[in-house]
Structure 1
Amino acid sequence: MKVNSVKFNFIMNFILTASSIIFPLITFPYISRTLLAAGSGAVSSAASVLSYFAMFASLGIPTYGIRACARVRDDREELSRTVQELMIVNTVTTVLTYAVFLVLLAVVPKFAAEKELLMINSVSLILNVIGVSWLYSALEEYGYIASRTLIFKVISIIFMFLMVKSPDDYIIYGAISVFAGSGSYVLNFLRLRRYVDFKKTQQYHFKEHLKPIMIFFATSAGISVYTNLDTVMLWMMKTNVDVGYYSAGIKVKTVLSTLITSLGTVLLPRLSYYAEKGNKDEFYKIIAKACNFVVLLGAGVTVYFWMYAKESILLLAGADFYGAIAPMKYLMPTVLLIGLSNVTGIQVLTPTGRESKVLYSILAGAVTDFVLNLVLIPYIAADGAAIATTVAELVVLLVQCIYLKDTLPKIVKDISIRKVFVALILAMAGGGLIRWLDIKSLFLNLLISAVVFFGIYGGMLMLQKESFVCGTLENSIQMIRNKLNRR
Structure 2
Amino acid sequence: MKVLKNYMYNMSYQILLLIVPLVTMPYISRVLGPKGLGTYAYTNSVVSYFLLLGSLGITLYGSRQIAYVQDNREKRSKLFFEITILKLLTTLFSGILLASYLFMCSEFRVLLIAQSLTLFANVFDVSWYFMGVEDFKKNVIRNVIVKLASLILIFSFVRTNRDLLLYIIIIGGSTLIGNIVLIPFLINQVEFFNIKNLNVIQHLKPAILLFLPQVATQIYLVVNKTMLGQMDSVSAVGFFSSSDTLVRLALTIVSSLSAVLMPRIANLIAEGKTKRVEYYMNQSFEFINVLALPLMMGLAAISSTFVPLFLGAKFSVVALLVIMESPVILIISWSIAITNQYLIPSRMNREYIISTVLGALSNVSLNVILISNFGVYGAIIATFVSELIVMVYLVYSIRKYLNVTAMLFSNFYKYAVGSFIMFGVTRTLSHILPATIVSVILEIFVGIATYFITLFLLKADILQNWRNFFHE
TM-score by length of 1: 0.84
> 2:376 and 2:92 mapped to 1: Cα distance?
40
Q: Residue 132 of structure 1 is aligned with which of 126, 130, 141?
A: 126
Distance 1:163 1:7, change over 3 A: same
Q: CA deviation at 1:396?
A: 0.3
Is 2:255 aligned against 1:258? no
Deviation at residue 334 of structure 1 after TM alignment = 0.6
Match of 1:485 in 2: none
Partner of 2:110: 114
Give the match for residue 395 of structure 2. 401
Using the alignment, how far apart are the partners of 2:168 and 2:321 within structure 1?
32
Select the residue among 48, 51, 62 that pairs with 1:51: 48
Q: How far did 1:338 drift?
A: 0.4
**CA positional deviation for 1:70:** 0.6
Q: Which residue pairs with 2:415 in the alignment? A: 420
1:399 Cα deviation from its structure 2 partner: 0.5
Q: Pairwise mapping of residues 211-230 of structure 1 onto structure 2 (< 5 A)?
A: 211-230=205-224
Give 1:302 shift: 1.3
Contact 2:54 2:90 in 1 (8 A): yes
Which is further off, 66-75 or 201-210?
Answer: 201-210
1:352 pairs, out of 342, 346, 350, with 346
Residues 196-211 of structure 1 aligned to structure 2 (within 5 Å): 196-200=190-194, 203-211=197-205
CA contact (8 A) 1:81 1:200 kept: no
| 1:147 equivalent in structure 2 | 141
The question of whether the paired residues in 1 share the 8 Å contact of 2:142 and 2:182 is answered with: no
Cα distance in 1 for residues equivalent to 2:31 and 2:75: 51
1:430 is aligned to 2:425: yes
Is 1:96 the counterpart of 2:93? The answer is: yes
Tell me which residue corresponds to 1:84: 81
C-alpha distance in 1, partners of 2:12/2:267? 24
2:68 is equivalent to residue 71 of structure 1 = yes
1:342 offset after TM fit, Å?
0.8
Greater C-alpha Rg: 1
Higher RCO structure, 1 or 2 (CA under 8 Å, sep 6+): 2
Runs of 5+ consecutive residues of structure 1 not aligned to the other structure: 479-487
Alpha-carbon distance, 1:255 to partner: 1.4
Q: Give me the CA root mean square deviation.
A: 3.4
Offset at residue 110 of structure 1 (A): 4.9
SS in 2 for 1:140: coil
CA contact (8 A) 2:68 2:267 kept: yes
Which of 417, 422, 439 is the aligned partner of 2:433?
439
Deviations 1:74-115 (A, max 9, x none): 11111112111111211221222233344445554457x639
Q: CA deviation at 1:449?
A: 2.7
Q: In the superposition, relative to structure 1, how do residues 121 and 411 fare at CA in structure 2: closer, same or farther (>3 Å)?
A: same
Q: Which amino acid aligns with 2:417?
A: V
The answer (yes or no) to whether the contact 2:243–2:322 under 8 Å persists in 1 is yes
Partner AA of 2:13 in structure 1: L
The yes-or-no answer on 1:20 pairing with 2:14 is no
CA–CA separation in structure 1 for the residues paired with 2:424 and 2:107: 55
Matched-pair contact (CA < 8 Å) for 2:115–2:172: yes
Q: Per-residue deviation at 1:296? A: 0.9
Aligned length: 470
CA distances 1:239-279 after superposition (whole Å, capped 9, x unpaired): 55554543343222121112221211121111111111112
The residue type equivalent to 2:9 in the other structure is: M
Distance 1:328 1:90, change over 3 A: same
- Higher mean alpha-carbon deviation, 381-390 vs 30-39, is at 30-39
Q: Find the residue that maps to 1:199 and give its secondary structure.
A: coil
Distance 1:15 1:92 in 2: 34
Q: 1:159 to 1:239 in 2, by over 3 A?
A: closer
Structure 2 residue aligned with 1:484: none
**Any conservation in 2 of the 1:72–1:78 contact (CA below 8 Å)?**
yes
Structure 1 residues 43 and 65 mapped into 2: Cα distance closer, same or farther (>3 Å)? same
- Give the unaligned 5+ runs of structure 2: none
Moved more, 374-383 or 75-84: 374-383
Judge which range, 291-300 or 466-475, deviates more: 466-475
CA positional deviation for 1:147: 1.0
Q: Which amino acid aligns with 2:285?
A: C
Alignment check: 8 A CA contact 1:12 1:146 kept: yes
Q: Note if 1:183 corresponds to 2:181.
A: no
